[in-house]
Structure 1
Amino acid sequence: MPPTPGLEAFYRRSGFEIQQPGEPIDLWRIYGIQVKAVPGGEERIFHRGRLPG
């Protein structure tokens, strides 16, 4: 997500983890291959694991 006031707090309250600007995430657990998602510039990746059940 591009920098947006208030958005980070909203997603944190909703259980999301928020990467630092430009920080990639490893998608190994999802796809079983070595691949990373890399945001551009000051963008961040917001992600959440599966809920139980």
Structure 2
Amino acid sequence: MPLARNLIKFAASPQGRKLIGQARRIATDPKQRQRVSAVKAAIARRRAAGSSPE
């Protein structure tokens, strides 16, 4: 699969390693998790009210 091959190449590159490291730091950041939870709650409220999340 060409797409998988390209993803593996990118992940092995210096830019890919930097991006993956940054994503890991963001994923484990408690403040970021709190922000994500707040956005999810806001979207749920909008859906419950009948409007679209966009």
Which TM-score band applies after superposition, normalised by the shorter structure?
A: under 0.3
Rg larger in structure: 2
Q: Which has the higher contact order (CA 8 A, sep 6+)?
A: 1
TM, length-normalised to structure 2: 0.24
